[in-house]
Amino acid sequence: MKAALACALLAAASASGQVPFDWAVPGQTSWVDVTETPGPRGEAMALASATSRLLPVALWEHYLERFTAAGFYVPPPEAQLQVAGALQLTGLDVEREVSYTVLLRALPARRGTRLLLSATSVGPVRRTSPGAPLVPGASSVLTTRLEGAEVVSYAVAQPPDEVRSFYVQVLPSQGWRATGPGVFALGDRRLEITLQPLSAGRTGVLLRLGLQNVSGSSSTSTAPP
């Protein structure tokens, strides 16, 4: 029933030779495979559409638990790209360099949820942020724009303390000034750094670069989905 998506996900995760993440939609009432297709930047992407009897919030919580249990790096709510009228959640498999995203829209009359499921190979699509350095050896780099801010997430083999030391040493040499724990300022720009311990001593890094307002806080708002 899910053969096309399974084959596409296996292709996206081929570097590891392991079985990829299984969506296993709770309360599933339909499933439509979409064959593997190039993403907007040429990356390998696998898509599928499904419906479920469950409501969007319940499914969002389900996949948050699944992503976390699978050891994926899940960016905090303020870094999750959201779509009007829907809930969206992204988890990054840093070992296989595959990004998994689920988009959830309520069906009319609260009859359930329509899901758009995607798996994207992010290994070949790496670039550094023009506003902040990345720790050497960074992998699975994802860059998005969110409410006027640039959000960069990536993973490194170093533990959090080493990553923190890297930024404390490197950023001042580039003109950044520390204004708080994990927060730096350069002119009218504000950089927030969030670290998340991963398995095997690795670290997930989230860089959020935006403009400061007159009070010195970031001009972008943060709100959970």
Mean pLDDT by 10 residues, the chain (225 residues): 44 47 93 63 71 96 93 78 85 81 92 91 51 82 74 88 89 87 90 90 89 50 37
Q: How many CB atoms lie within 10 A of CB 142?
A: 22
Task: For residue 189, give the amino acid letter.
Answer: R
Q: What is the pLDDT of residue 28?
A: 96
Q: Is 96 helix (H, G, I), strand (E, B) or coil?
A: coil
Q: What is the pLDDT of residue 148?
A: 66
Q: Annotate 150-197 with DSSP letters as a single string.
A: EEEEEEESS-HHHHHHHHHHHHHHTT-EEEETTEEEETTEEEEEEEEE
Output helix, strand, coil percentages for the chain, rounded to the nearest 5.
20, 40, 40
Domain 139-211 is of which CATH architecture?
2-Layer Sandwich (3.30)
Q: Annotate 4-41 with DSSP letters as a single string.
A: HHHHHHHHHTTTTTS-------TTEEEEEEEEEEE-TT
Rounded Cα–Cα distance for residues 74 and 54 (Å): 22
**Biggest alpha carbon–alpha carbon distance for the chain:** 57
Q: Is 141 helix (H, G, I), strand (E, B) or coil?
A: strand
Q: What is the pLDDT of residue 93?
A: 84
Instruction: For the chain, give every domain's residue range.
Output: 3-121, 139-211
Q: What is the pLDDT of residue 173?
A: 76
Q: Would the pTM count as exceeding 0.75? A: no
Contact predicate 153/132, CB 8 Å: no
Identify the sign of the CA torsion 77, 79, 82, 88.
negative
Rounded Cα–Cα distance for residues 5 and 192 (Å): 36
